[in-house]
């Protein structure tokens, strides 16, 4: 979802419902649409899991259903995480040696791996790789596995930490450690940071 979504009628409805509840009539009035047009959009949004009915408001003639956003819809709104992460790393770089900063980033990677649950280091490599891909998805990645000869690489054209990596390339060590912990094997970062960062991690020893 991006700015184009919020420029659409469905996006405007989502924006109007943020932090509040509204009826079809209230939305129709604010959007200058007919009730039926609003209902059609609400059906679509409800089907997509972005809104839900939330109680009934009394009207002059009959009660009206009120609608509100689901928890899933809150993820559509931009967050300040990128700016905060950049600023945090900038402060840490001013206080820590490069080695100490890298260890902090690796500790974050280990913590994220631990949050995914116990790593089945004695399981099939395929299953461990799938768990690693899922972990990247959780933090916003869209990774895939590539094979070159006998070597495996975990790659993504869309780096989940792009905003931070552009200014602080050492952040890749966080993802490197995350993958190593989950896969149970050494992983080496081979990311391409020329232009838009692209993830590439080599899985060693397999």
CATH code assigned at 55: 1.10.10.10
156 burial class (0-12, 13-18, 19+ CB within 10 angstroms)?
A: buried
Residues of the chain with pLDDT under 50: 1
What is the structure's pLDDT at 121? Answer: 54
d(CA 34, CA 95): 59
Containing 165, the helix (H) or strand (E) segment is helix 162-167
The pTM assigned to this predicted structure is: 0.64
d(CA 162, CA 165): 5
What is the structure's pLDDT at 32? Answer: 94
Same domain for 16 and 86? no
What is the structure's pLDDT at 150? Answer: 85
Containing 61, the helix (H) or strand (E) segment is none
Residue 141 contacts residue 160 (beta carbons within 8 Å): yes
What is the structure's pLDDT at 61? Answer: 59
**Domain assignment of residue 11, given as a range:** 3-74
What is the structure's pLDDT at 122? Answer: 56
Same domain for 44 and 133? no
In the DSSP assignment, the letter for residue 62 is S
The 187-189 sheet, strands edge to edge: 144-148, 151-156, 199-203, 187-189
What is the structure's pLDDT at 119? Answer: 56
């Amino acid at each position: 979802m991006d700015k184009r979504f919020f420029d659409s009628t469905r996006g405007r409805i989502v924006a109007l419902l943020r932090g509040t509840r509204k009826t079809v009539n209230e939305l129709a009035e604010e959007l200058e649409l007919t009730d039926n047009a609003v209902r059609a959009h609400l059906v679509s949004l409800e089907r997509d899991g972005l809104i839900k009915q939330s109680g009934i408001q009394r009207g002059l003639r009959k009660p009206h259903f009120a609608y509100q956003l689901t928890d899933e819809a809150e993820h559509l709104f931009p967050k300040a995480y990128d700016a905060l992460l950049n600023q945090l790393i900038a402060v840490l770089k001013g206080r820590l040696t490069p080695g100490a900063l890298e260890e902090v980033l690796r500790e974050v990677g280990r913590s994220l791996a631990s949050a995914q649950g116990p790593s089945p280091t004695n399981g099939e490599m395929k299953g461990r790789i799938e768990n690693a891909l899922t972990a990247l998805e959780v933090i916003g990645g869209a990774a895939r596995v590539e094979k070159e000869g006998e070597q495996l690489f975990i790659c993504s054209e869309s780096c989940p930490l792009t905003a931070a990596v552009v200014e602080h390339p050492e952040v890749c060590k966080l993802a490197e450690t995350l993958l190593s912990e989950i896969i149970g094997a050494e992983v080496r970062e081979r990311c391409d940071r020329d232009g838009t960062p692209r993830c590439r991690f080599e899985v060693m020893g397999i």
